[in-house]
Amino acid sequence: MDIRVEQGCPQCGAPAEQGEDSRWLCCAYCGVRTLLSPAGGLFRYLLPPATNSAEPEDYYAVPYLRFKGMIFQVSSQGISHRLIDTTQVATELPGLPPSLGLRPQAMVLRPLSAAPDCRYLPQSRSPRAVLKKAIQVGGFSARPGGDLYHRAYIGESLSVIYLPLVRQAGRLLDGVSGLPLAAILPPAALPGQAAPFAPSWQLSHSAAICPHCGWDLEAAADDLVVHCAGCHRAWQLAGQGLRQVEWQLCAAAAGAVRYLPFWRIPVQIPALELSSFSDLVQRTNQPLVARSAWSRQPLQFWIPAMKLRPKLFLQLGRRLTLGQWRLPDPAEPHPAHRGGARSILAAGATENSEPYPVTLGAGEAGQAIKVLLAAMAASPRRIHPQLPRLWVQSGVPSLCYLPFEERGQDWVQLHCGVALAKSALRFGRLM
């Protein structure tokens, strides 16, 4: 479930409410579009404290790590996956609620900003430790007796949500509900642990203009890649700014098609002597008659660049990676398409022919390589136990748009025949 955040327009100050995944703020009042980037890499939000008539003696903020995304596990029992949405305490302090439960979803959060009278407790648990805990709580650990070979977290959101605490008359209270905490910890111990606001937590705002040509960039709130209509370069969100990403398009001859984005990642796995498409077909025991050209075709993993349910994400990535020999060589955008991906089908375009936005970043897609390899293995026993020791050497990802044709309730990829239910895309956008 999405979290709502109240952002203020940095240009005119007008309030705007956005989803937690929103990287672009487009102000309804002044029309200015701004790129939001967390200086330290993580978005930080505050649960709004209740206004209390009594003056608190002290005011603290406790970090909770929030993860929303997919978890895949490869074990001796096969591949399992699930969607996870969790907010777990990230500081070692007895007496705190272990999770924020549904509270973040029920309130509108604020971006964390420096409050002079507030002190911040340290984030002493790593995201990995917090996720491991969430998996145990969710009963998703490998079953007893089963060997766990690989676990991948493909996150859509990783952020820190702070719970305000107040000290009043020597007691610690939950700053949102006003209820006393069953704190074992003497409130006097808190100041020693807390620290002031760190500048790297501040959210930074930058103008939505192309770093190359200065053109105004147009982006939907959740776009992770934005196309410049001026110079036709594509930019992916990276750290505090934008980094250029190579992109191609497998253009469809004609007809009503929809372009869906995929990350194309060159992969080599030395321990399996895996470097060409032919190697992949052989090592994973595909029932395909190998063609001689395949041994000269460098191996690429094709991974959906959009949020989908875990099962579909895996199916689509698996079928396109195995079907890559059917795809035409994706070209640099054809001169006729120089207007950028968004205007590929501008003439007579329908709403559906707009290229689908990139909602899953290249870094997250790269986390899926070993899971996809496991899913492709026709004889799991030959590949799965080897996963822990495999070193995946991956190259620079590029973005490729593939045409999908509308057939009834599905979008069908023109070259590989892979079908994707339209409802799956709608669900993925809301996920």
Summarize as ranges the residues that interact with Zn ion (CB under 5 A): 9, 11-12, 14, 27, 29-30, 210, 212-213, 215, 228, 230-231
| Strands laid side by side in the 24-26 sheet | 24-26, 33-38, 203-207
DSSP secondary structure letter of residue 431:
-
Provide, rounded to whole angstroms, the least separation between the CB of residue 242 and Zn ion: 10
For the chain, the residue count is: 431
Nearest CA to 111 among 207, 217, 10? 10
Which residues, 6 or more positions from 37, have their beta carbon under 8 angstroms from its beta carbon? 23, 203, 204, 206, 237, 239, 240, 241
For Zn ion, give the closer residue by CB, 224 or 360.
224
Provide, rounded to whole angstroms, the least separation between the CB of residue 332 and Zn ion: 16
For Zn ion, give the closer residue by CB, 82 or 110.
110
Provide, rounded to whole angstroms, the least separation between the CB of residue 213 and Zn ion: 3
| Six-digit token string for 283 | 């090592």
Which residues, 6 or more positions from 213, have their beta carbon under 8 angstroms from its beta carbon? 228, 230, 231, 233
Provide, rounded to whole angstroms, the least separation between the CB of residue 203 and Zn ion: 16
Nearest CA to 86 among 9, 165, 161? 161
Q: Whose structure tokens read 């591949």?
A: 79
Provide, rounded to whole angstroms, the least separation between the CB of residue 118 and Zn ion: 27
Provide, rounded to whole angstroms, the least separation between the CB of residue 23 and Zn ion: 17
Q: Is 340 left (phi over 0), alpha (psi -120 to 50) or beta?
A: left
For Zn ion, give the closer residue by CB, 234 or 387.
234
For Zn ion, give the closer residue by CB, 14 or 189.
14
Residue 388 is which amino acid?
P
Provide, rounded to whole angstroms, the least separation between the CB of residue 234 and Zn ion: 10
> 307: number of CA atoms within 13 Å, CB side?
19
For Zn ion, give the closer residue by CB, 355 or 366.
355
CA 217 from centroid of its chain's CA atoms: 21
For Zn ion, give the closer residue by CB, 37 or 315.
37
For Zn ion, give the closer residue by CB, 30 or 182.
30
DSSP secondary structure letter of residue 298:
B
Start-end of H helices in 285-377: 310-322, 362-366, 369-376
Give, for 277, the enclosing helix (H) or strand (E).
helix 277-283
Coil/strand/helix, residue 429: helix
Provide, rounded to whole angstroms, the least separation between the CB of residue 9 and Zn ion: 3
Q: How many CB atoms lie within 10 A of CB 169?
A: 8
Nearest CA to 72 among 317, 322, 428, 310? 310
For Zn ion, give the closer residue by CB, 26 or 269.
26
Provide, rounded to whole angstroms, the least separation between the CB of residue 30 and Zn ion: 3
Coil/strand/helix, residue 324: helix
For Zn ion, give the closer residue by CB, 112 or 228.
228
For Zn ion, give the closer residue by CB, 344 or 375.
344
| Six-digit token string for 257 | 């098609």
Provide, rounded to whole angstroms, the least separation between the CB of residue 25 and Zn ion: 8
Considering only the C-alpha atoms of the chain, give the largest distance between any 2 of them, rounded to a whole number of Å.
79
